[in-house]
Amino acid sequence: MINRAFKLKDFDGPLDLLLALIGKAQIDIRDIFVSEITDQYLEIVRNAPDLDMDEASDFLLMAATLLEIKSRALLPRPPKPEDDIDPETELIRRLEEYKRFRETAESMKEFEEAAKRVFTKLPEEYPLPPREIELTGLTLEGLQEAFLRIWQRRPKLDDNPESNHYAARNIHRDSHTVQECMLNLIYRMQKKKRMKFEEAFSDAPTREEVVTYFLAVLELLRLGRMHIRQDRVYGGIELISGKARNRKQKDLVDMNDEEVNGTEQ
């Protein structure tokens, strides 16, 4: 059967398929309706597996058109004057027009190939001399006024970093790094599979210490080395070693991560 060789998805559209069938049968486009071509087309469309509506709609429209043409041929001609457009001639015209454009596209391709043998340069970039900028409206008074304004705004002599933004202050080295905290947590969780977040740091922790441990927890979460539970908003956070085994154990944070990445575990 000729139809095995033709798969709908190989074709760019119904006209493409019809021309292929016509070509294979080696008949004239104008003989399309006296041949089996339309039956072959309909058979191919009918047998197409899992039609994707977006791509198939054009093919289906053509199938409907072909069926309409065939049925008109079977019925007696109506006594009133024919429509301006007889669908049969219209389809033949379309097929011939499409064929011509296909051939034109072929010859354009030749032009494209020939043009590829001509090489040009990309736009040059050269260092241009700097543009001359003309400054206007400069006066000595203007300069004096500007200076006075700045002078009046300057901070008072004040060494206290709290009140004076520009006062000198010491910058301390981090007492805790995220790396250290991560290692610490991993070590401790090898012995104790579960622990509360508060147990991670000392009894009177600095803000820096707490924040750094929190960051360490987030990193370990990301790496899948631990997961966490929090029963209610602002409730205590429990750290659990290893990846979560099922969805129920997972924290909201984990779930959102998955949803974002679109993967299911």
Chain residues binding another protein by CB under 8 A are 12-16, 30, 58, 62, 93-94, 96-98, 100-105, 107-109, 111-124, 126
Contact between 39 and 32 (Cβ < 8 Å): no
Half-sphere exposure of 103 (CA within 13 A, CB side): 6
Distance CA 13, CA 10 (A): 9
Cβ proximity to another protein: between 86 and 259 the closer is: 86
Kindly state the smallest distance separating residue 2's Cβ from another protein, in Å: 21
Cβ proximity to another protein: between 108 and 167 the closer is: 108
Kindly state the smallest distance separating residue 46's Cβ from another protein, in Å: 19
Angstrom CA distances, 70 to 41, 56, 85, stand at 13, 21, 15
Cβ proximity to another protein: between 20 and 210 the closer is: 20
Q: What does DSSP say about strands 237-241 and 226-230: parallel, antiparallel, or unpaired?
A: antiparallel
Cβ proximity to another protein: between 90 and 238 the closer is: 90
Cβ proximity to another protein: between 101 and 166 the closer is: 101
Select from 180, 195, 179 the least CA-distant residue to 236.
Answer: 195
Residues sharing a CB contact under 8 Å with residue 249, sequence separation 6 or more, in sequence order: 227, 229, 240
Kindly state the smallest distance separating residue 80's Cβ from another protein, in Å: 21
Distance CA 88, CA 76 (A): 15
Kindly state the smallest distance separating residue 62's Cβ from another protein, in Å: 7
Kindly state the smallest distance separating residue 26's Cβ from another protein, in Å: 17
